[in-house]
Structure 1
Amino acid sequence: MNGAAFEHRSLVLRLAYDITGSWAAAEDVAQSVALRWLTASGVREERAYVARMAVNAALDVVARREYTGPVLPGPVPTGPGVDEIVEQASEVEFALARVLQSLSPLERTAFLLHDVFGFSYAEVGAMLNRSPEAMRQLGSRPRRHVQEDRSRFRAEPAQVRALAERFFAAARAGDVDGLRALLTADVSLVADGGGRASAAVRPIRTADAVARYVVGLAEKALQGVRVEEIVANGQQAWLLRRSDDVVDQVMWLASADGNAIAEIATVRDPRKLAALRA
């Protein structure tokens, strides 16, 4: 990869990750773009050109993907040995990445290109073969969703940690009533198994339904499992590691006031956990 392509590698990785929700897919896209860049010539606007290649490759991944159940963003690798570009990508808030995955591929792409990377609507329209006005309208809904979601969950990390400790203790004990008391009435649980790991294929809602599901799952899923608090995608999370040291899942818990859990998101798709498998 020449100097210009290296300069834009972080742009390619971030775009591809936020569009596909998978770090492994983002790395594949970055490699593909790097190879195509080697044969490019006469490029005037390098950043826009590279972004367009990344967007097209990432959208192609999404179009070809066969997926079972909800789609959540996978964790980005962190820790010793990762390069600065990966560290920057790992700071992408899980909350933002999750909202983006709930949108259509075109909506999240338009939002990313304009609001995150600063391309004009004319540039975004040229990349996606749409008019600037169409891109303006397409980006309005994602913007509202992101703003609303960021204002929902404001509990302090210490409060969420205390809730998590009680949550996992009640789950291990099979205490449905204890779990129910830790959840808001309209709590939701979203699990991403990707069709390759056991997970609910639809979001589960209400405190009673979520508590019963978690207890039923915990009878097997939490046996001999270590629960470790980590930072994943710029947000407090919990990593569940089996006795054979394999990462079983990464879970995020969200609370608005620190008194109850309002949202649970867990990734079990082994492809998305590959970056964390030591």
Structure 2
Amino acid sequence: MADDVFSEHRPLLFTIAYEMLGSAVDAEDVLQESYLRWSAVDRAAVEHPRAYLVRVVTRQALNHLRAVKARREEYVGAWLPEPIRTGPEVSEDAILAESVSMAMMLVLETLNPTERAVFVLHDVFGYTHGEIAASVGKTEVTVRQIAHRARRHVHARRRRFEPDSAAGREIVRRFLLAASTGEVQELMELLAPDVVQISDGGGKVVAARRPITGRDDVARFVLRVIRTSAATTHVEYATCNGMPAARFVTGGALDWLVAFEIHDGRITGLYGIRNPDKLHRADTVLPLDRGEHQPWKP
């Protein structure tokens, strides 16, 4: 019975933990810790299992987020969320797709742990301030203030976003073809003037340590990377974090993954993950779920 109830809500619980932590590995750890607590509780005394589990996962994720803060600050080079493969149901849910996109996850990183929890639970999953108060150990009035502050912060920094689509995948295909054949003009036309490229090697593999901005510099960087790639490298297309992505496989192993942010027919962001510790979930589609709550509408 405990297994059945937890399994039923697992996609929702994983989604909450992942959006709060930006790491599938850490989210799995949180779910394991939460399951142990759920197994030990007197379930006859739990009137609403899903609400109880959401509260447990939120508290465990908050504890975990505070514990990894120092680790994030000491990270070598740019930090990106651990990419996860997502199914079509994510791309079809615009709010969920945006909430797990690389750009949004980076914005969430700039919030403190409580702000992040409140924003995720309220603006993505639609929980009320009162429900969230019980999860984060604050009063409802305080949660309302935190939600307002977090939303203002996020909205000031959020980037334009379009979920994965056939049109987006075609833009990625044309972009990679132009890069591999040296068609500079085509490459430039597919990049937005303010495009941003971020690489995450974690200090374990070669990767740009700082973001690269602007069409000219990003184009030069991409052409340089393509020229130095191994001849045996081939490209596989996928959907990661609700975004079109390309997997670069060398010798049968995933070497790096690039997720593409697209808006109005141009690439506005490239997020390249090379840190091998972050590529373990890149082969398995992970089910995400926002549950039955209706999302907040601005």
TM-score range, shorter chain: 0.7 to 0.9
SS at structure 2 position matched to 1:276:
coil
Note if contact 1:100-1:142 (Cα within 8 Å) is conserved in structure 2: no
Following the alignment from structure 1 to structure 2, what is the Cα–Cα distance between the partners of residues 6 and 153?
A: 31
TM norm structure 2: 0.75
Q: Deviations over 1:199-219 (max 9, x none)?
A: 333322111221222223333
Note if contact 1:153-1:257 (Cα within 8 Å) is conserved in structure 2: no
Following the alignment from structure 1 to structure 2, what is the Cα–Cα distance between the partners of residues 39 and 107?
A: 30
* Partner residue, 2:279: 273
Residue pairs, 1:80-159, within 5 angstroms: 93-97=96-100, 98=102, 99-103=104-108, 104=111, 105-140=113-148, 143=151, 145=154, 149=158, 152-154=160-162, 157-159=165-167
Cα gap change, 1:230 to 1:156, in 2 (>3 Å): closer
TM norm structure 1: 0.79
- Is 2:30 the partner of 1:29? yes
Cα drift, residue 91 of structure 1: 7.5
- Is 2:66 the partner of 1:63? yes
Following the alignment from structure 1 to structure 2, what is the Cα–Cα distance between the partners of residues 90 and 160?
A: 12
Cα drift, residue 140 of structure 1: 3.4
Cα drift, residue 116 of structure 1: 3.2
Cα gap change, 1:9 to 1:182, in 2 (>3 Å): closer
Unaligned runs of 5+ in 1: 80-86
Cα drift, residue 11 of structure 1: 2.7
Q: Which has the higher contact order (CA 8 A, sep 6+)?
A: 2
Unaligned runs of 5+ in 2: 285-298
RMSD: 3.2
Return the match for 1:204 from 194, 212, 219.
212
Following the alignment from structure 2 to structure 1, what is the Cα–Cα distance between the partners of residues 164 and 34?
A: 40
Following the alignment from structure 1 to structure 2, what is the Cα–Cα distance between the partners of residues 94 and 156?
A: 8
Seq. identity, % = 34
Note if contact 2:235-2:246 (Cα within 8 Å) is conserved in structure 1: yes
SS at structure 1 position matched to 2:281:
helix
Following the alignment from structure 2 to structure 1, what is the Cα–Cα distance between the partners of residues 235 and 217?
A: 23
The one-letter amino acid of 2:127's match is F
Cα drift, residue 121 of structure 1: 0.8
Count of aligned positions: 268
The one-letter amino acid of 1:24's match is V
Cα drift, residue 4 of structure 1: 3.2
Cα gap change, 1:195 to 1:109, in 2 (>3 Å): farther
Note if contact 2:82-2:278 (Cα within 8 Å) is conserved in structure 1: yes
The one-letter amino acid of 1:251's match is V
* Partner residue, 2:194: 186
Residue pairs, 1:211-222, within 5 angstroms: 211-221=219-229
* Partner residue, 2:293: none
The one-letter amino acid of 1:213's match is F
Following the alignment from structure 2 to structure 1, what is the Cα–Cα distance between the partners of residues 197 and 211?
A: 6
Cα gap change, 1:50 to 1:214, in 2 (>3 Å): same
Cα drift, residue 195 of structure 1: 3.5
